[in-house]
Amino acid sequence: MKLIIKNVRAVDPVTGTDAVTDITAEGGIITAVGQASDENGARIIDGTGLVAFPGLMDMHVHFRDPGQTHKEDIITGTDAAKAGGFTAVCCMPNTKPPIDNEELVSYIYDKASKTGIDVYPVACITKGMQSFELCDFDSLKRAGVYAISDDGRPVENAELMRRALELSRENGLAVLSHCEDINITRGGIINKGKVSKDLGVGGLDRASEDYITAREIALAMSCDARVHICHVSTKGSVNIIRAAKKDGVKVTCETAPHYFTFTEDKLYSRDADYRMSPPLRTEEDRAAVEAAVLDGTIDCIITDHAPHSKEEKADFEKAPNGVVGLETSLAATLTKLYHTGKCDLMKIAALMSKNPREIVGVPVISICAGQPCDLTVFDPDYEWEVIPEELHSKSKNSVFKGERLKGKVLYTISKGKVVFEL
């Protein structure tokens, strides 16, 4: 069926277009951008007052499938993604068993083929995520892998990480690093500082993130390779990455909305839904992360969507780290950066659509004729309260619960089909 979105503000960071127009699609492809002439038999969406981005991509999610599907699975995870405006995601490999072979990559692709959006499995750097032996990258690439990571754990052996980076120059795989020295963080559950001291719980020292960030940059420099730093949360890490970029190091990085929105003060509630890894930090860190998003040091916004069951999150000190975020990411970013006048829509579209695709190496999409009709259509002024029970994820551990956000996805369109509609 032909689809026409009328009078929508199309914001496209690939072409630099920002204009109110009509978008016509048929057969999964955008056929025209401009005044629509033939409406016979078409589905018409009134886009008046709405904004269309090229479909969002989250390059860092955890769908817990296989092995922990009581928390989430590929079907429910993509339902959450679609409700958040995402037409593509990269799912991390710390499943049970970890995604370190062709069979598990095929499992992800097969199950995801029924969801209506693109799901790209990220495979392990080391077999079983054990930091002892590199995976067979050539076979993983043949299976359809674009990126590798041991996310959830660091690659503890620096020489293995260096070798993976060196090989990435040949195989083209993006190397995504979880920057944590577990010898430093062992026993900690929240940021090490005033709040951890006041609560009498173990702290996660920022030196852990800063040290491995510096290590990865040094390793990448040694072999002239690309490296991507996951979930940046500290001022120190931001400064190290900014300096490395100025020196021409091929480093990119990401952060999540909670790191530029909240601080460790949230943990005074002793609510494990505010615990994630890396943790919420100080106001100085929050401000540094926000500034790095605005000045381009941070390349993309991700969610690190990490579902856990209500039972698992019940005990503040024993709960696993992680929060869900797919359904709040765009709204939180609009609320914190756009509606405060700090960031325009073009930059947000780049941070959440164009840049992550470029980093991973999948095709970048655009709002122009001949492109796949993958669109995120939202009302930037729609105000709503985050009610965990209304989220599409199996798990409800949202760090934004109870918050009022401004901006809401009304339609997610993938391959010309409306896969989510509010």
Catalytic residue list: 304
3-state helix, strand, coil in the chain (%, to 5): 35, 25, 40
Report how far residue 319's alpha carbon sits from residue 312's, in angstroms, rounded to the nearest whole number: 6
* C-beta separation of 65 from 312 below 8 A: no
* C-beta separation of 51 from 410 below 8 A: no
Region label for 366, one of left (φ > 0), alpha (ψ between -120 and 50) or beta (otherwise): beta
* C-beta separation of 217 from 249 below 8 A: yes
Report how far residue 92's alpha carbon sits from residue 37's, in angstroms, rounded to the nearest whole number: 44
Closest CA to 405 of 282, 255, 254, 258: 258
* 417: three-class secondary structure by DSSP: strand
- Pairing between strand 300-301 and 43-46? unpaired
Rg (CA), the chain: 21
